[in-house]
Amino acid sequence: MNKIVIKLGTSTLTQGTKQLSRRYMLEIARQITHLLEQGKQVVLVTSGAVAAGREMLGHPTVERYLPSKQMFASVGQGRLMQIWAELFSLFSIQVGQLLLTRGDFSNRQRYLNIRDTLHCLMQHGVLPIINENDTVATKDSRVGDNDNLAALVSNLIAADRLILLTDQKGLYTSDPRQDSKAELIPVVKHIDSSIFALAGGASAALGLGTGGMYTKVQAAQLASQSGTSTTIASSSCPNVLIEIAAEKPLGTLFLAETTTRESRKRWLLSEKHQGAIQIDSGAEHQLRHGGASLLAVGIKKTMQSFERGALVQLVSLSGQPIAVGVTNYGNQEIQRLIGSHSRHIEDILGYSYGQEIIHRDNMTRIKFNEDL
């Protein structure tokens, strides 16, 4: 379990009060620091901006409509990040903020930019802290809740585990607040309508659920299909993050139904490619036998117009399809880089998205139907 995405909801951060619990947030910071010191890569998805805004404005009575929520988020987001930054600074941990909407995940170029930023932050020991950008998100652009946002982030970085903390110990056979005989379900192998029914009753099973356990199961399903296992556990459990990272049986574990490699491979092979790149014999040999990334020096020409983040086909000098992959550069950029050494990319373009035109992790062979 090397890459972990942790999501904290408002009820967890406030611990049932009307304001953020600095004491609880400090405890979370301590546990995350412990994971980082173990060499884990951690991304924190946090709610709480609206709660922080309400707190700062003295909990005013306002109409319950979107601009009011956006006002609170605008006031509170900076304060929320300030608190996190101050708490993590006690452990000498730097933090970086990302505010995202659904549009950032549906636009391929923005998707890649977010992924690259997250990887760069983690590589330099900076803790990424993510929240939905409530101040500008509209109904069409909102993810809808930070549970699903965390699942999208898990998919983006190919996380090993998604941890969703809540006020319940996990998923039960029935509502434990109403049924004293309700039992905790330790492991879920497959999420279907019966699991959604347990998460929110009949209305949730019909797709009418709007929050709580339903959205957590929804997030677990999304993560599972992307190759990430999910744990839903109680925020009140001592050392909950440390225990889960140590594979202790806490809460409900939703097993991944595929691997991240299989998930990515299926997507690469099923999607329609948007262009093609012809490579020389040396690059072909490396791709077939060495499992290397595609570098500019091995490219002969590009075919069709495509943007950064496009799915393209790699073909040999004879025109035989060899692989498909997601390109880090657009068609026009690649044409300027053809035959160049990777160290000259920034000199030629004035910027760089990395040394690889297509990284091996984002490439799949066509002939043998397997990852490079």
71 labelled binding-site residue: no
Residue 314 bridge partners (DSSP): 277, 323
140 labelled binding-site residue: no
CA distances from 293 to 116, 289, 367 (A): 16, 12, 17
169 labelled binding-site residue: no
Measured between alpha carbons, how far is 145 from 102 in angstroms, rounded to an integer? 11
47 labelled binding-site residue: yes
CA distances from 25 to 21, 22, 31, 174, 278 (A): 6, 5, 10, 30, 52
214 labelled binding-site residue: yes
Measured between alpha carbons, how far is 259 from 277 in angstroms, rounded to an integer? 28
Instruction: Identify the CA nearest to 150 among candidates 214, 228, 81, 79.
Output: 228
210 labelled binding-site residue: yes
User: Coil, strand, or helix at residue 101?
Assistant: coil
25 labelled binding-site residue: no
280 labelled binding-site residue: no
215 labelled binding-site residue: yes
155 labelled binding-site residue: no
318 labelled binding-site residue: no
Measured between alpha carbons, how far is 292 from 290 in angstroms, rounded to an integer? 5
Per-state percent for the chain, helix, strand, coil, to nearest 5? 45, 20, 40
106 Cβ contact partners less than 8 Å away, ≥ 6 residues apart: none
Residue 3, both tokens: 């890459």
290 Cβ contact partners less than 8 Å away, ≥ 6 residues apart: none
134 labelled binding-site residue: yes
Rounded to 5°, angle at Cα 169 from 167 and 175: 85
Measured between alpha carbons, how far is 360 from 337 in angstroms, rounded to an integer? 19
The phi-psi region of residue 38 (left if phi > 0; otherwise alpha if psi is between -120 and 50; otherwise beta) is alpha
Render the burial of 293-306: b for 16+ CB within 10 Å, e for the rest. Answer: bbbbbbbeebeeeb
166 labelled binding-site residue: yes
* Binding-site residue positions: 7, 47, 134, 146, 166-167, 210-216
* Binding-site residue positions for substrate: 47, 134, 146
* Binding-site residue positions for ATP: 7, 166-167, 210-216
